[in-house]
Amino acid sequence: MKLVKSSRFSPCPGPVVTIVLDGVGISPRDDGDAVKAARTPMLDKLMANFPMTKLLAHGKAVGMPSDEDMGNSEVGHNAIGAGRVFAQGAKLVAESIASGHLWQGHAWQEVVATAKQGGTLHFLGLFSDGNVHSHIDHLKAMIERAKQEGVGKVRLHILLDGRDVGETSALDYVDPFEAYLDGLRSADFDVAIASGGGRMKITMDRYEADWSMVQRGWDIHVKGEGRQFASAHEAIETYRNELGVIDQDLPGFVVAKDGQPLGKIGDGDAVVFFNFRGDRAIEISRAFTEETFCPFHRGPLPKVTYAGMMQYDGDTKLPPRFLVEPPAISRTMGEYLAKNGVAQYAISETQKYGHVTYFWNGNRSGKFDDALETYVEIPSDVVPFEQRPWMKCAEITDALIAAIRSGQYKYLRVNYANGDMVGHTGNFEAAVTAMQGLDLQLARLIPAIIEAGGVALITADHGNADEMYELDKKGNVTRDAEGRTKAKTSHTLNPVPFVLVSGEADPAYKLRSDLAAAGLSNIAATVLNLLGYEAPEDYDPSLIEPA
């Protein structure tokens, strides 16, 4: 994995720093754009005075099935770190189902065999067609296949979305799905929704930010302990009327009949976690598969056949049983740099720490070279993000500036989570505040990079805060009769910025103008060029050329 020194590009005298403004896209409209509404003098100055272009961060440009699919932080960081585009979770699963490979795999056959020996087959996962963590069509295909193969009893544990889809759209999925189940149910096929709750309330924590979420989910899904309702519909309507919260924040519920839960998970059962994305699947998978487990008290561990839709962590082999092989991403930029003696520094707060490490490195945990790589995680606040929209951007900047001034690192990368995590709350004013807080940190960081003789590459992994209101089919902001908007909490299809910031008055490189559809995967070759190397031949082209 030897990199070739470039005859076209001299290495930057100082460090090269990739700055990912997570969830900060470029919208074609002003209405509902928290990025434009915010007072961001530093970002405005950089975009106006330095070379800038737009990059695709959604759809096929990041390995999703179609250009109607949003990008997300995981596939975005995969693309940035790998320098190439790989078919991603949603596409892999859809192809595996269509080809029949999923049904032929050992994992599916073991799950079905367990259920046919008298156990219940449980499906647990995010219940929407957002196509970021999961897709309801994958769930339907597995239920139908289970019935076809003679499974007698299926129970569903649904995590309500309201984040990658409309914030109060849960019943738009639950009600038609109940009708769908009515059509499948028969004397020898017993299928029903057994439990559920909002994705930000139960089960789907990530990066060990709040294990209590997973414990609440465990108690609901496994033990059947929680507030009981006759149906998921009743639970959703009741919680909305009582609490006024959006789908992602709905408390957990248990569907029961005559006071008895419909679907506790017990010995001899099979469980499929049908999310394909890894970050919010790891902790619940650990709870089901680890014999020795300390994050919370599970009670007796049921002896189940547990499978993930995919393997969520290839290094720790978690979970050991999975239905679809993940993309094999090798020879990432980080690995090339480590193998060529380049010291690297990666930093973010907990909410995005895995993105500048695990996902950046091609879904690989750990470092390539302990001596050359430093990874720093700033613990995230465990509070609703709209209540503290500046998050940890100041603390991240403190550490990053110190790393730059140390002179120890030639390549540094950072993710600022504000635009995405606050954007997901749907709170426009909080998102504006998040952007303004972030701009203050850019005003501190950029001078430090320039002072060190470095170059900053400012970009994003996808949009979010740039589109905070729901749009109609024509792309206009949706308003009711009183002119009120409806919050949008999902990612956008908008491109993201790429700004090349240097203190040199006349740099020896310039942005290329001949790349018709440049995307996030073009960044890696750009970084290598700025470090004085030629990119590997199969990397997507660099965004720069000699001036």
Q: Give catalytic residues, as residue numbers.
A: 73
Q: Which two tokens stand for residue 515?
A: 């790349």
Q: Is 73 annotated as contributing to ligand binding?
A: yes
What is the spatial distance between Cα 25 and Cα 434, in angstroms, rounded to a whole number? 14
Q: Which two tokens stand for residue 227?
A: 């507030």
Strands 260-261 and 253-257: antiparallel
Q: Is 277 annotated as contributing to ligand binding?
A: yes
What is the spatial distance between Cα 2 and Cα 534, in angstroms, rounded to a whole number? 10
What is the spatial distance between Cα 541 and Cα 8, in angstroms, rounded to a whole number? 14
Q: Is 538 annotated as contributing to ligand binding?
A: no
Helix (H) or strand (E) holding 455: strand 455-459
Q: Decide if 191 contacts 143 (C-beta within 8 A).
A: yes
Q: Is 420 annotated as contributing to ligand binding?
A: yes
Q: Is 503 annotated as contributing to ligand binding?
A: no
What is the spatial distance between Cα 162 and Cα 313, in angstroms, rounded to a whole number? 26
Q: Reply yes or no: is the peptide bond before residue 319 cis, omega within 30 of 0.
A: yes
Q: Is 462 annotated as contributing to ligand binding?
A: yes
Q: Is 321 annotated as contributing to ligand binding?
A: no
What is the spatial distance between Cα 528 and Cα 75, in angstroms, rounded to a whole number? 20
What is the spatial distance between Cα 303 and Cα 145, in angstroms, rounded to a whole number? 23
CB-count burial class (<10 Å; 0-12, 13-18, 19+) for 364: buried
Cβ-Cβ contacts under 8 Å for 174 (sequence gap 6 or more) = 127, 158, 193, 232, 233, 236
**Tokens 């206009």 sit on residue:** 476
Q: Is 185 annotated as contributing to ligand binding?
A: no
Q: Is 461 annotated as contributing to ligand binding?
A: yes
Cβ-Cβ contacts under 8 Å for 537 (sequence gap 6 or more) = none
Q: Decide if 364 contacts 81 (C-beta within 8 A).
A: no
Q: Is 280 annotated as contributing to ligand binding?
A: yes
Strands 253-257 and 228-229: parallel
What is the spatial distance between Cα 47 and Cα 43, in angstroms, rounded to a whole number? 6
Q: Decide if 383 contacts 418 (C-beta within 8 A).
A: no
Q: Is 369 annotated as contributing to ligand binding?
A: no
Q: Decide if 436 contacts 40 (C-beta within 8 A).
A: yes
DSSP 279: T
Q: Is 8 annotated as contributing to ligand binding?
A: no
Q: What is the CA radius of gyration of the chain?
A: 24
Q: Is 279 annotated as contributing to ligand binding?
A: yes
Bind-site residues for substrate: 133, 163-164, 199, 206, 277-280, 352
Q: Which residues are annotated as a binding site?
A: 22, 73, 133, 163-164, 199, 206, 277-280, 352, 420, 424, 461-462, 491
Annotated binding site for Mn(2+): 22, 73, 420, 424, 461-462, 491
